[in-house]
Structure 1
Amino acid sequence: MRVFYDQLDREIKIPNPPKRIISLVPSQTELLVDLGLEDVLIGVTKFCVHPKDLRQRKNTVGGTKQVHVDKIRKLAPEIILCNKEENTLEMVAELENIAPVHVSDVKSVDDSLELIREYGEIFGVREKASEIAGQIMDLREDFCEFIDKKPKQRVAYFIWKNPWMVVGKDTFIDHLLELNKFENVYRLEKSRYPEIYLDQLTTKNADRVFLSTEPYPFKEEDKSMFKKAVREDCIHIVDGEYFSWYGSRLIAAFDYFKKLHGTLSYSSSE
Structure 2
Amino acid sequence: MRVVSLVPSLTEAVAESAPGMVVGATDWCSHPAGLDAVRIGGTKNPDVAAVVRLRPDLVVANEEENRLPDLAALRAAGLRVLVTEVRDLPGAFRELDRLLVGALGLPRPPWLDRAEEAWAGVRPVGEERLAFVPVWRRPWMVLGRDTFAGDLLARLGVRNAYAGHPERYPRVPAAELARSGCDLVVLPDEPYRFTADDGPEAFPGLPAALVSGRHLTWYGPSLAEAPGVLGEALGGGAVVAAG
DSSP-derived class of the 2:117 partner: helix
Counterpart amino acid of residue 138 in structure 1: E
Gaps of 5+ in 1: 1-18
The equivalent position to 2:139 in structure 1, one of 142, 148, 163, is 163
Check the 8 A contact 1:64/1:86 in 2, yes or no: yes
Show the counterpart of 1:124: 105
Per mean C-alpha deviation after superposition, the further-off stretch among 256-265 and 196-205 is 256-265
Deviations, residues 173-195 of structure 1 (Å, cap 9, x unaligned): 11111111111111122110010
1:241 equivalent in alignment to 2:198: no
DSSP-derived class of the 2:131 partner: strand
DSSP-derived class of the 1:137 partner: helix
After superposition, residues 27-106 of structure 1 pair within 5 angstroms as 27-35=9-17, 37-54=18-35, 57-98=36-77, 99-106=79-86
Check the 8 A contact 2:14/2:21 in 1, yes or no: no
Check the 8 A contact 1:165/1:195 in 2, yes or no: yes
Moved >4 Å (runs of 4+)? 264-268
Per mean C-alpha deviation after superposition, the further-off stretch among 253-262 and 165-174 is 253-262
Question: 1:123 & 1:28 partners in 2: Cα distance?
Answer: 12
Counterpart amino acid of residue 224 in structure 1: E
DSSP-derived class of the 1:154 partner: strand
Check the 8 A contact 2:144/2:170 in 1, yes or no: yes
Show the counterpart of 1:140: 119
Question: 1:253 & 1:240 partners in 2: Cα distance?
Answer: 10
DSSP-derived class of the 1:126 partner: coil
Provide closer, same or farther for how the CA distance between residues 177 and 77 of structure 1 changes in structure 2, counting only shifts above 3 A.
same
Show the counterpart of 1:12: none
Question: 2:73 & 2:90 partners in 1: Cα distance?
Answer: 29
**Offset of 1:265 from its aligned partner?**
10
Show the counterpart of 1:214: 190
Check the 8 A contact 1:117/1:126 in 2, yes or no: no
Provide closer, same or farther for how the CA distance between residues 92 and 221 of structure 1 changes in structure 2, counting only shifts above 3 A.
same
DSSP-derived class of the 1:127 partner: coil
Question: 1:89 & 1:202 partners in 2: Cα distance?
Answer: 35
Calculate percent identity across the aligned residue pairs: 28
**Offset of 1:267 from its aligned partner?**
6.7
Counterpart amino acid of residue 42 in structure 1: V
The equivalent position to 2:159 in structure 1, one of 175, 180, 183, is 183
Task: Output the TM-score relative to the length of structure 2.
Answer: 0.92
Greater per-residue helix proportion: 1
Show the counterpart of 2:203: 226
DSSP-derived class of the 2:108 partner: helix
Check the 8 A contact 1:62/1:68 in 2, yes or no: yes
Check the 8 A contact 2:131/2:185 in 1, yes or no: yes
Check the 8 A contact 1:166/1:196 in 2, yes or no: yes
Question: 1:159 & 1:125 partners in 2: Cα distance?
Answer: 34
Provide closer, same or farther for how the CA distance between residues 186 and 266 of structure 1 changes in structure 2, counting only shifts above 3 A.
closer
- Report the aligned-residue RMSD: 1.8
Counterpart amino acid of residue 64 in structure 1: T
Provide closer, same or farther for how the CA distance between residues 226 and 95 of structure 1 changes in structure 2, counting only shifts above 3 A.
same
Gaps of 5+ in 2: none
Task: Output the TM-score relative to the length of structure 1.
Answer: 0.83
Counterpart amino acid of residue 105 in structure 1: E
Q: Max radius of gyration: which structure?
A: 1
Counterpart amino acid of residue 217 in structure 2: S
Question: 2:231 & 2:174 partners in 1: Cα distance?
Answer: 29
**Offset of 1:133 from its aligned partner?**
2.9
Aligned residues: 238
Counterpart amino acid of residue 258 in structure 1: G
